[in-house]
């Protein structure tokens, strides 16, 4: 890709790569704005073409003219020049386009330069080759901004849910990690041992069930972040292995697994792992950053509701009347841990998902201070909740109240599980 330090979305990065290919094919010494404009127009399902067609521009004619101009300039270039190795750099006028694109991104409060923003960067650089040719077609920056708003307001041909399922299918083509499958099977095995009362030490099986079940929920929590990021435009999560549910693929297993387990054993504080690293610049809109942060707690909520299902819902309730209390206590405690993780995650403290949900909409001054606090977020929460204080009492009172809202039977067995697991 041509060298640039500007934050670009995946589509914008691909457009620059295609512009470099066009420049190389035509023997250019650098990537100028005409090559970039042609790359934008040739982009699959091009947003730039859609905007220009909305403005009644004959896109086919524009493509032919830009292509002819590039070939004409290539024919006038000095022959025999040595081809630059390692990829072409951006021309000076194209650097100006990128700088104006960055300014447009900032004006629109976006977190990365997308394809339509590159078009606006050309229009904001009237001296650039692309800016001059677009001006001849009567295209202005204000018209493009207004057409972008109008296109966004038009009804979509595809339902978001169908797109989400297609994304999930593409994301899971590498399959589920055998390590995660083994972890799930081990958890089920421990549940079976507790159900049928196998062995003389049910507390040991209960301990193993809680730990392995919590690790499963950690993987699902991280997967929730990753699959939402993939849906939002960050395909790097696939290459990092986050979509396989393999806990060993997470960047920092210590942070994501070991520390939460230690805190769990020390005081029942169900900390999530913060091991999925997202390329926020690849996300299409700032709102996707909030959705990525919210997806982890959503995974905990789904786990909680599934674990609560047997406690008072026909026909599960009658089946569980004959089940050993150790099994019900284990289910209840695991559900309680999901509730605690949900509450902690939604706290608006830097480093936690609750703050991540709000972060795209906060002022820059506050974000600077938040960056300073971020490394200490987990420590602050642990100290506040593990000590006897009004804040800790308020937190735990609300956790138990929320458990009662879910199901009273679940709350009872969760309390029994706490007595057994944390004597």
Q: Is residue 1 part of a domain?
A: no
> Can you give the residue range of the structural domain that contains 54?
10-153
Question: Residue 163 and residue 135: Cα distance in Å, rounded?
Answer: 36
The pLDDT, as a whole number, for residue 140 is 94
> What pLDDT digit, counting tens, does each position of 15-58 carry?
898 899 998 888 888 899 999 999 999 876 678 888 998 899 99
The verdict on 35 and 166 lying in the same domain is no
The verdict on 234 and 371 lying in the same domain is yes
User: Which of the pair, 297 or 232, is modelled with greater confidence?
Assistant: 297
Name the band, by pLDDT with cuts 50, 70 and 90, for residue 155.
very low
The verdict on 247 and 126 lying in the same domain is no
Does 167 have pLDDT greater than 90?
Answer: no
Domain boundary among 116, 135, 153: 153
Domain boundary among 128, 153, 178: 153
Apex CA 380: angle with CA 376 and CA 384, to 5°? 175
The pLDDT, as a whole number, for residue 163 is 58
Distances (CA, A) of 243 to 33, 182, 218, 340: 37, 16, 13, 25
Helix (H, G, I), strand (E, B), or coil: what is residue 3? coil
Q: Is residue 401 part of a domain?
A: yes
The verdict on 137 and 189 lying in the same domain is no
Lowest-pLDDT choice from 68-77, 96-105, 301-310: 68-77
Domain boundary among 131, 153, 175: 153
Does 224 have pLDDT greater than 70?
Answer: yes
Known catalytic residues are 222
Q: Is residue 4 part of a domain?
A: no
Q: Is residue 272 part of a domain?
A: yes
The verdict on 109 and 237 lying in the same domain is no
The pLDDT, as a whole number, for residue 251 is 57
The pLDDT, as a whole number, for residue 79 is 46
The verdict on 91 and 131 lying in the same domain is yes
Number of domains in the chain: 2
The verdict on 167 and 222 lying in the same domain is yes
Lowest-pLDDT choice from 68-82, 205-219, 367-381, 394-408: 68-82
The verdict on 90 and 229 lying in the same domain is no
Helix (H, G, I), strand (E, B), or coil: what is residue 22? helix
Highest mean pLDDT among 144-148, 250-254, 379-383: 144-148
Highest mean pLDDT among 85-89, 200-204, 325-329: 325-329
């Amino acid at each position: 890709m041509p060298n640039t330090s500007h934050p670009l979305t995946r589509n914008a990065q691909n457009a620059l790569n295609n512009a470099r290919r066009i420049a190389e094919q035509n023997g250019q010494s650098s990537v100028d704005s005409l090559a970039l404009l042609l790359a934008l127009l040739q982009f699959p399902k091009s947003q730039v073409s859609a905007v220009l067609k909305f403005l009644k521009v004959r896109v086919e004619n524009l493509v032919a003219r830009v292509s002819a101009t590039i070939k004409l300039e290539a024919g006038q270039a000095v022959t025999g020049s040595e081809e630059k190795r390692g990829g072409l750099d951006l021309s000076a006028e194209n650097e100006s386009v990128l700088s104006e694109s960055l300014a447009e991104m900032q004006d629109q409060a976006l977190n990365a330069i997308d394809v339509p923003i590159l078009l606006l960067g050309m229009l904001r650089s009237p001296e650039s080759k692309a800016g001059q040719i677009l001006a001849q077609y009567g295209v202005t920056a204000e018209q493009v901004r207004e057409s972008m708003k109008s296109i966004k307001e038009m009804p979509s041909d595809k339902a978001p849910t169908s797109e989400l399922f297609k994304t999930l299918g593409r994301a899971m083509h590498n399959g589920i990690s055998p390590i995660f499958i083994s972890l799930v099977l081990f958890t089920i095995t421990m549940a079976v041992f507790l159900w049928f009362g196998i062995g003389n030490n049910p507390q040991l099986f209960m301990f193993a069930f809680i730990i392995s079940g919590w690790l499963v929920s950690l993987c699902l929590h991280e997967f929730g972040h990753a699959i939402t990021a993939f849906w939002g435009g960050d395909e790097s999560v696939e290459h990092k292995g986050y979509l396989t549910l393999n806990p060993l693929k997470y960047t920092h297993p210590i942070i994501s697994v070991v520390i939460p387990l230690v805190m769990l054993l020390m005081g029942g504080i169900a900390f999530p792992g913060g091991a999925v690293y997202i390329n926020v610049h690849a996300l299409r809109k700032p709102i996707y950053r909030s959705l990525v942060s919210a997806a982890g707690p959503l995974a905990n909520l789904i786990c909680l509701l599934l674990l609560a299902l047997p406690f008072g819902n026909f026909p599960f309730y009658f089946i569980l009347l004959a089940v050993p209390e150790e099994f019900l206590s284990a289910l209840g405690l695991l559900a309680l841990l999901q509730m605690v993780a949900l509450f902690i995650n939604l706290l608006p403290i830097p480093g936690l998902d609750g703050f991540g949900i709000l972060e795209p909409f906060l002022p820059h001054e506050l974000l600077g201070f938040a960056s300073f606090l971020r490394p200490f977020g987990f420590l602050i929460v642990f100290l506040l909740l593990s000590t006897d204080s009004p804040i800790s009492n308020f937190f735990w009172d609300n956790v138990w109240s929320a458990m009662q809202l879910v199901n009273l039977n679940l709350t009872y067995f969760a309390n029994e599980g706490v007595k057994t697991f944390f004597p």
